[in-house]
Structure 1
Amino acid sequence: MADAVIAVVLLLVGATATTAVAVRDPERQALVLSVLGVVLAVLFTVLQAPDVGLSQLAVGSALTPLLLLLTVRKVRRRARGEERQE
């Protein structure tokens, strides 16, 4: 039973990671990266590493996508400001 759960979660990780690479829009990539972080946290929990899972949940599914979204927003805002000045 445990092997089947691990196999299913590994397939979810593979599918989510492939989706994160295939998506071209940076905002959507950040959202898919957040989902990937949650799936990896589930994988770590299934593999009996709950401390690593909690760290992954905090950093991989919350902090990193948030920083990416803020960076994309700032870059796009600066690009719009430079277009207006020209």
Structure 2
Amino acid sequence: MAGVFVLVLCAAILFSGVLAVAMGRVLPALIAAGLASLFASVVYLLLAAPDVAMAEAAIGAGLSTFVFLYALRKTGGGDDGAGGAGRGSDGGRS
């Protein structure tokens, strides 16, 4: 039964990773990447590697997500201009 749960979590890791890459905005992609790391830490815990699970949860899901969120906040909130390609500095109003 635990093997099936591990496989489901591995599928969730893959789905979250693909979702993080396919997202058009930065903040939802960051959240999806954090979820992939959180799912990975649960898999490590189920595979009897609690030390690796704690490190993945603390660094992968926790610290790196926090650092990226902080960087987004400091650089303008993640408005990466997706969908606005080809516009000048005036926002396409000229």
Structure 1 unaligned spans of 5+: 78-82
> Which residue is 1:5 aligned to?
5
User: Structure 2 unaligned runs (5+)?
Assistant: 78-88, 90-94
**In structure 1, what is the Cα distance between the partners aligned to 2:21 and 2:2?**
29
Cα offset for 1:72?
1.5
SS at match of 2:76: helix
| Percent identity of paired positions between Structure 1 and Structure 2 | 23
Query: What value does the CA root-mean-square deviation take over the aligned residues?
Result: 1.7
The structure 1 segments of at least 4 consecutive aligned residues displaced by more than 3 Å after TM superposition are none
Aligned length: 78
Q: Read off the aligned partner of 2:70 and give its amino acid letter.
A: L
Please identify, of 2-11 and 52-61, the stretch whose mean Cα deviation from structure 2 is larger.
Answer: 2-11
- TM-score normalised to structure 1 length: 0.79
Q: Does 1:15 align with 2:15?
A: yes
Q: Report the counterpart of residue 34 of structure 1 in structure 2.
A: 34
Question: Retained in 1: the 8 A contact 2:13–2:37?
Answer: no
Structure (1/2) with the larger helix percentage: 1
Q: Shift in Å at residue 40 of structure 1?
A: 0.7
1:8-64 deviations in whole A, cap 9, x for unaligned? 111111111111111121112221122112101011111111110011111111110
Corresponding residue number in structure 2 for 1:57: 57
Name the aligned partner's letter for residue 64 of structure 2: T
Alpha-carbon distance in 2 for matches of 1:2, 1:75? 43
Residue type of the alignment partner of 2:30 = A
TM-score by length of structure 2 reads 0.73
